[in-house]
Chain A
Amino acid sequence: MDKMLLEIENLVVKYGGLPVLQGVCLAVKTGETVCVLGSNGAGKSTLLRAVMGSQRATAGKIIFEEEEIQGSRTEYIVRKGIVYVPEGKMLFGPLPVEENLLLGAYILRDEKAVARNLEFVYGLFPRLLERRNQPASTLSGGEQQMVAIGRGLMSNPRLLMLDEPSLGLAPLLVDEVLSTVHSLKRQGMTILLVEQSVREALDLADRGYVLQTGRITGQGTGSELLQSDIFRSAFLGI
């Protein structure tokens, strides 16, 4: 069996006393692509923010590479190798595309590695190369998502967490972004993906979890989930 990269045990997160995550358990093995499915407000983003340390958890454990990281600072968690591509992209809008990408490599001191990663990102998204000197805020939604993902890849992450990368994109761009995620997966990247495009996400992922109002209500491979009752009632309305 492959080694566990990320393990979340009984995670509880509250916003002002109101529980949003109520004992979530989830695991990602090295090399795996795992998706978390859930409707609006289920707590998907909260889960990822808790892993990043930008949302404090009330109880539970978060273990990354056998180290308990719950309660650590975000900058420490990033240095450990977890990268979060946030919902809504959060680009540095007025700065040029390339500056955004380079900021993604802030924790890397080795300039050769940075140059190599930049080349890799431009290879992945040739459109960003054309627009490298343009302020990021002037790009289209799809291109901005590419910057957000590219920026995340710049620091050689060991775990890439993507929060609804297809949100608000035209169908054609959804395919483009998700096929990039697919090619990252083939290159061996470990990915934790949060999505609302259920079928696309399940096609892509090795395994999936269903998150409903703060609880994991189902898990399994894509085909297992597609057949399970709870999943069908939650997402497919059957």
Chain B
Amino acid sequence: MDILISSIVAGLLIGMALALVALGLTIIFGVMDIVNFAHGEFLMIGMYTGLFTAQSTGMDPLLTLPLAALVGFLLGVLCYAGFVRFLLRGPMVAQLLGTFGLMLLLRNIALLIFGSEDRALHHGILVGKSFDVGMEIILPATKLAAAGLSILAFGAVWLFMKKTRIGKALTATALNRQAASYMGIPAERMNALAWGIGVSSVTIAGALLVNFWSVNPYVGLLFTMIAFAIVALGGFGSVPGALFAGLVVGLITEIPGFWDFLTLAFSAEWMENVPMTSFKYMWVYVAYFVIMVVRPRGLFGWKY
């Protein structure tokens, strides 16, 4: 039983960080109906930003978050103004291929600068520490902090969208771009803002994840796929949906550890050669396909 509880706890913790990873994707999609294949590459950039800032300044990795957020915001606005804006004039397929190209570009720039090796953080107040909360549940401090700060960042973005004048204008643009422009809401600036916020939330997530996840130029793909699954599960463009689906996906990826435990407990021979953890991302896509078949608009329906 304990291993189940600890799987659930681990799943929820990672799920909170994954929700933040997906948040930016859902915001960008919600505001301008564009699927950003380079999403995971922005996460990679956030990870490198956190890693190198921490290593070169000796700062604690957690203190690099504001910098990661700033880098992400500027990068997002720049990508929109210098590239994505032009894609919007073309057909849908131009947008797909365009952000796909952006993904390849960013990945190869990273490869050129950083090389292909894995890099990990080895210092920081939280790195390597953990809390034993009893019942055999051990919480690694880095994951706990990443989860907590993810929720905080997620909540901040959500409040911004709900409560501020600009955030409401962004929400209105996501709901009905044409109508929003008739209210005098500047559509171009809202697009740039969506890219700024979307990319900055994923670079924050990157700077949090790098505390316990090593980074290389290829790390983005896995997270792009996970973020796609989360956004599809939670409903395209839905912010609360991203949180909920992030937690679901976190649970799905961690609970197979529990099945390994079952394998051992029942010493089922046929299961022994198939460690379930190595399939943990498969379950995410199984869930994704089930939802797409049963409820194609996602658990939370269409936009908010």
Contact = CB atoms under 8 A, between A and B. Distances in A.
Verify that A and B bind, or say they do not: yes
Interface of A: 52, 54, 73-75, 78-79, 83-84, 86, 90-95, 99, 102-104, 106-107, 151, 155
Contacts of B169: 103, 106
B185 interface: yes
B171 interface: yes
B169 to A, nearest CB: 6
A94 B184 contact: no
Greatest chain A CB density within 10 A among B165, B176, B178, B181 is at B181
15 contacts: A73-B186, A74-B182, A75-B185, A75-B187, A84-B182, A86-B178, A90-B176, A90-B178, A90-B182, A95-B172, A99-B168, A102-B168, A106-B169, A106-B172, A106-B183
Nearest to A152: B182
Contact of A103 (B172, B178, B303): B172
A94 B168 CA distance: 13
A79 B185 CA distance: 10
Nearest to B190: A75
Given A95-B171, A99-B168, A74 B176 contact: no
B9 interface: no
Contacts of B180: 103
A74 B181 contact: yes
Contacts of B165: 106
Nearest to A105: B183
A94 B185 CA distance: 18
B175 A104 contact: no
B178 A93 contact: no
Contact of A79 (B171, B175, B184): B184
B184 A75 contact: yes
Label chain B's interface by main secondary structure.
helix
Contacts of A107: 183-184
A31 B25 CA distance: 48
A106 B168 CA distance: 9
A86 B179 contact: yes
Nearest to A73: B186
A78 B184 contact: yes
Given A99-B168, A103-B169, A86 B303 contact: no
A86 B182 contact: yes
B167 to A, nearest CB: 12
Greatest chain A CB density within 10 A among B171, B179, B184 is at B184
B168 A103 contact: yes
B175 A75 contact: no
Contacts of B158: none
Contact of A92 (B175, B181, B184, B187): B175
Greatest chain B CB density within 10 A among A73, A75, A95 is at A75
A83 B179 CA distance: 11
B182 A92 contact: no
Nearest to A109: B165
Contacts of B182: 52, 54, 74, 78, 83-84, 86, 90
Nearest to A90: B179
A106 B176 CA distance: 15
B83 interface: no
Contacts of B186: 73, 75
B304 interface: yes
Interface in B151-176: 165, 168-169, 171-172, 175-176
Greatest chain B CB density within 10 A among A54, A79, A90, A106 is at A106
B181 A106 contact: no
Q: 4 closest Cβ contacts across the A-B interface?
A: A78-B184, A90-B179, A107-B184, A74-B181
B179 A94 contact: no
A109 to B, nearest CB: 9
Interface string B234-266: 000000000000000000000000000000000
A73 B184 CA distance: 9
B197 to A, nearest CB: 18
A212 to B, nearest CB: 27
Given A99-B168, A103-B168, A91 B185 contact: no
A91 B184 contact: no
Given A75-B187, A78-B184, A106-B185, A95 B178 contact: no
Given A75-B187, A95-B171, A106-B169, A54 B178 contact: yes
Nearest to A102: B168
